[in-house]
Amino acid sequence: MKLRVALIAGAALCALAVSPTYAAEGWYVGLGAGWQKADNFTFNTVDGGDTAYTNGGFIATGALGYKYGNWRVEVEGSGSHTKYVGGYEGGQIWTGASVNILYDFHLMPRWGAYAGGGVGGGALNREAYGPFLGAGGFGQWGFQWQVIAGLQYAARYNLDLYAEYRYRGLGVDNTVEFYPTPGGAATGNDPRQNVVLLGIRYYPFAVEYVPPPPPPPPPPPPPPPPPPPPVKTFIVFFDFNKANLTAEAQQVVQQAVTTLKTQGSVRVLVTGHTDTVGSDSYNQGLSVRRAEAVKDEMVREGVDGSTVSIEGKSFHDPLVPTGPGVREPQNRRAVINLNS
């Protein structure tokens, strides 16, 4: 069970490691929409202070920005509407523009977070309903600011989806009497908003990143050297003017038979030789007898005699070249050739 869990976790980490990570840069356009709730509005009239309570309302944003590395700079326009109840019934329309500076944090493939803020200007229209319809206007201009934090997901190489929170404010000239109440014209506090947005950022000029192909595999190791060729030749030496096998000669014949059985050879040639002492005709017969002695020993060791051929070469193919009448031990031999 523990091994299975470890394998599954390892596979998940591998999948995460090879997932594409999109990091578009350059120009982008952004659109957002969401919900905002303004702080309660306190105001003063000639009859004293009062409070208007706010319900939530909509907000929409549009931005043109540029991203370089982890930094983004954008110019943004926004508009929102809030409804008041309580001290008076009316609404608040807030429009504005700001320059935002944001920093992106990489969390994992496709996922990131960001934080920043913006400053600019905004216009406020507080409007009254009912018997006070028509009051207000867009004459309330002031300094607009906001702090921003969000989470984003790279849906494609050129498209980010985001969700963010903002807290923002607008400083208006409260010396202006901006709407009437039952107590007369009034002034009040600057507006503040808590904002939740969902939106997209589209990078029209982004180019999809294609990872380079993996390097070619290393060349295979060279093949191992071929095994040494099997021994195919065995030499049996004889005493002077003899054709019988010594104990050492019998051991050589046994080695040849063992090799023959291991290799499965089908033809064997035994060639007898002599030194240069004596006549050619005598040494020819002696060389043949030496080959026959080797063949007989091989047959006795279990080799099929029909697969063994013999020949004699007298002293015409010496192992050690000598003159006539020289007793050279290495020339007194029989050569066993396997697979001939």
* Structure confidence by residue, pLDDT tens digits, 245-258: 999 999 999 999 98
pLDDT at 83 (0 to 100): 79
Report, as ranges of residue numbers, the positions in the chain whose pLDDT lies below 70.
1-23, 41, 43-50, 84-90, 126-139, 173-189, 228-231, 265-266, 340
pLDDT of residue 132: 36
pLDDT of residue 11: 46
Strand duo 179-181 + 184-188: pairing: antiparallel
User: What token pair was written down for 55?
Assistant: 């319900």
pLDDT at 208: 85
Distance CA 256, CA 298 (A): 8
- In angstroms, rounded to a whole number, what is the distance separating the alpha carbons of residues 288 and 265? 23
CA dist 164 and 199 (Å) reads 9
Give whole-number Cα distances, 75 to 52, 113, 189, in Å. 32, 20, 27
pLDDT recorded at residue 5: 44
